[in-house]
Structure 1
Amino acid sequence: MTVFHRNETRDPLPERLRGGVVAIGNFDGVHRGHQSVLERALDEAKTRGVPALVLTFEPHPRTVFRPDTPVFRLTPAPLKARILEGMGFGAVIEYPFDRTFSELSASDFIHRVLLEWLHASHVVTGFDFHFGKGREGGPAFLMAAGGDNGFGVTLVDAFRDENASVISSSFIRSLLGQGDVSHAAGLLGYRYTVEAEVIDGKKLGRTLGYPTANMRLPPEVELKAGIYAVRFRRADGSLHDGVASFGRRPTVDSDGEALLETFVFDFSGDLYGEVCSVSFFGHLRDELKFDGLDPLVTQIRQDEEEARALLSGVAPLSDIDRRISLA
């Protein structure tokens, strides 16, 4: 898998990746709607016998235009790249998005990026994809450019879920803000997953008999504070069930920063400094303030029992889900 980052995108594309089918989009979340576009690109590349590539943009355009309110990323770049790799793409192009790039005309985008750099033979994107300064380039412009310059274009209609609703990243973000990780998983096609370095904490959980792996998530994460049944993946790939608390620990440290604290079942060892991931399977309850540590410990025991019961019967939602949180 090749990932071209910001400082590499001006270099010539390797010969082996030229002339491929290019799926274009931001694809934050790589949800089921995105997957319908991406799978079409994979099918087209297989039919043509050429590489399948994804052209995406870093950072998220909304973060560039509204830096004071960065977007809640469902899949930060490293996780998104791993999902795309697992789907079968040969390369992910993380093209640098900044204000200078946003001023590029639609015609220049076609010629500089798609033709002169990627040498695209076919482009696949959603039916509502717009590009270029002021979003001047739309589906009709792209189709015409393909006809004029010798590359094919496939526009994929909006994907609708079982309730005939269009799936969107913004709606999934709102579900996570309500703690509804189960509904979000149904739209993503896999369990919502975060990853971060395990950091040192106050070790209160250890004194209570429930040591936790603590992670500091980006401040723009809008996951609802609460207790969740989770799967915890170590850097070595090993997978463990657990129960996680996300929030500010109102019983013991209500003024502290928000942390994700995971009690990893049936595990003992040092996790400090490891970059690990946590996949969310179910919301057990809201964050509560208890009158002392004894009732807190009693509740933690109950949370553990509920999490073990929930996780004992889970099945993969998709191949992506199997790779991320179940295998």
Structure 2
Amino acid sequence: MAIEVIRGWRDLSPGQKGAAVAIGAFDGVHRGHQAVIAAARDAARALDAPLAVVSFDPHPRRWFQPDAAPFRLMTPDQMARALEPLGVERLYLLPFDADMAAMSDEDFARKVLAGPQVARSAVGQTDGLGVQHAAVGFDFTFGKGRSGSPEALRRYGADLGFTVSTVERLDDPNGLKLSSSAVREALQAGDMARAAAILGRPFAITGEVVHGDKRGRTIGVPTANVPLTDYMRPAYGIYATRSRLPDGRVIDGVANLGIRPMFETEQPMLEVWLFDFDGDLYGQTLETDLVARLRGEMKFDDLETLKARIDADAVAARAVLAG
């Protein structure tokens, strides 16, 4: 059954309340996040309650730093898909707006997580999620000025009728730091293997295929072009890729991520050449795993030299993906 995405915490029906939840930004749903969700899953089983995740859209950083460079590791749709295999039944995407930003930690616990016990209408709708349990990470903060802590949440929960569990820092046996910032550091370095080890899967970019200048078609390399929007910018360069089409097919390829120095673009773009594919993808959503970075971007003297290098990159990408 597909995960239910609920955008908000107000006017929920009784059937949308009463879950055991994991709370956090969960950008990337990396292995550290997965440990918090596992704690919520244990509570859900013990309470015979639905398992849910509470996150925010937009990301709080975007609210407080509207001019910050792009930093997201996934879209809300990608988050929902990443949560499904973990057994999550609901994703509460709470709007991070002026009201949320100004809310105290106690008000967040009382109004958003617990909610009033008296129905607001004849159909039994109330504000608040009515959680039975909340699982959080050891460094979780909440409320205006980040005043709330896991210990504060536990105190509020004791008063409001829900239990709280705190997940301590999870250390990887190989010394990897399991955090969203560590994923971003790996992406900036073009180390896709390290990013995938932290995430538990390859880093992927999803977006609508748009029209480009179609120059690649003139040299036999048609590409599907996807804007990077608010995604964190990995190291620019050439990548071995694996793309999922809307019809479910998964196709290997090679891609340029960046500004394409020879024919520079105004905004960075992911341009994917899907191997052995012939079809129209304009206006469709493509999700592409960046499996390995093959090299940095380069500027060539002419189209013939560019085509020869693209062919060599394709050979290298096929070898990486076959391995």
| TM norm. shorter chain > 0.5 | yes
Matched, 1:291 2:301: yes
SS in 2 for 1:246: strand
Displacement, 1:121?
Answer: 1.0
SS in 2 for 1:130: coil
Displacement, 1:183?
Answer: 0.9
Task: Report if the CA contact (8 A) 1:52-1:90 is conserved.
Answer: yes
> Who is 1:45 aligned against?
44
Matches for 1:246-265 after TM superposition, within 5 Å: 246-251=257-262, 253-254=263-264, 256-265=266-275
> Who is 1:56 aligned against?
55
Task: Report if the CA contact (8 A) 1:175-1:184 is conserved.
Answer: yes
* Per-residue Cα deviation, 1:218-273 (whole angstroms, up to 9, x for no partner): 1553211100000011111111000011122222x125432111110011011111
* Whole-angstrom distance in 2 between the partners of 1:111 and 1:258: 43
Residues 163 and 79 from structure 1, CA distance in 2 versus in 1: closer, same or farther, beyond 3 angstroms?
A: same
Matched, 1:26 2:8: no
| Equivalences, count | 309
* Whole-angstrom distance in 2 between the partners of 1:149 and 1:255: 54
Displacement, 1:147?
Answer: 2.1
> Who is 1:320 aligned against?
none
> Who is 1:305 aligned against?
315
Divergent runs of 4+, >4 A:
none
SS in 2 for 1:153: strand
Displacement, 1:157?
Answer: 0.4
* Whole-angstrom distance in 1 between the partners of 2:297 and 2:307: 14
Task: Report if the CA contact (8 A) 2:73-2:231 is conserved.
Answer: no
* Per-residue Cα deviation, 1:198-222 (whole angstroms, up to 9, x for no partner): 1111111111011111111115532
2:299 maps to a residue whose letter is: K
Task: Report if the CA contact (8 A) 1:196-1:215 is conserved.
Answer: yes
Matched-pair identity in %: 43
Residues 87 and 258 from structure 1, CA distance in 2 versus in 1: closer, same or farther, beyond 3 angstroms?
A: same
1:123 maps to a residue whose letter is: A
SS in 2 for 1:284: strand
Task: Report if the CA contact (8 A) 1:60-1:97 is conserved.
Answer: yes
Q: Runs of 5+ in structure 2 lacking a partner?
A: 116-127
1:2 maps to a residue whose letter is: E
Matched, 1:109 2:108: yes
Matches for 1:230-241 after TM superposition, within 5 Å: 230-241=241-252
Matched, 1:178 2:189: yes
SS in 1 for 2:261: coil
| CA RMSD after TM alignment | 1.5
Residues 70 and 287 from structure 1, CA distance in 2 versus in 1: closer, same or farther, beyond 3 angstroms?
A: closer
Displacement, 1:43?
Answer: 2.2
Residues 130 and 219 from structure 1, CA distance in 2 versus in 1: closer, same or farther, beyond 3 angstroms?
A: closer
1:4 maps to a residue whose letter is: I
SS in 2 for 1:227: strand
Task: Report if the CA contact (8 A) 2:31-2:178 is conserved.
Answer: yes
> Who is 1:167 aligned against?
178
Q: Runs of 5+ in structure 1 lacking a partner?
A: 314-327
Task: Report if the CA contact (8 A) 1:60-1:71 is conserved.
Answer: no
SS in 2 for 1:33: helix
Task: Report if the CA contact (8 A) 2:20-2:43 is conserved.
Answer: yes
Q: Give the TM-score normalised by structure 2.
A: 0.92
Matched, 1:89 2:88: yes
SS in 1 for 2:5: strand
285-294 vs 161-170, which deviates more?
161-170
Residues 139 and 9 from structure 1, CA distance in 2 versus in 1: closer, same or farther, beyond 3 angstroms?
A: closer
* Whole-angstrom distance in 2 between the partners of 1:180 and 1:164: 15
1:111 maps to a residue whose letter is: R
Of the candidates 143, 153, 156, which is equivalent to residue 145 of structure 1? 156
Q: Give the TM-score normalised by structure 1.
A: 0.90
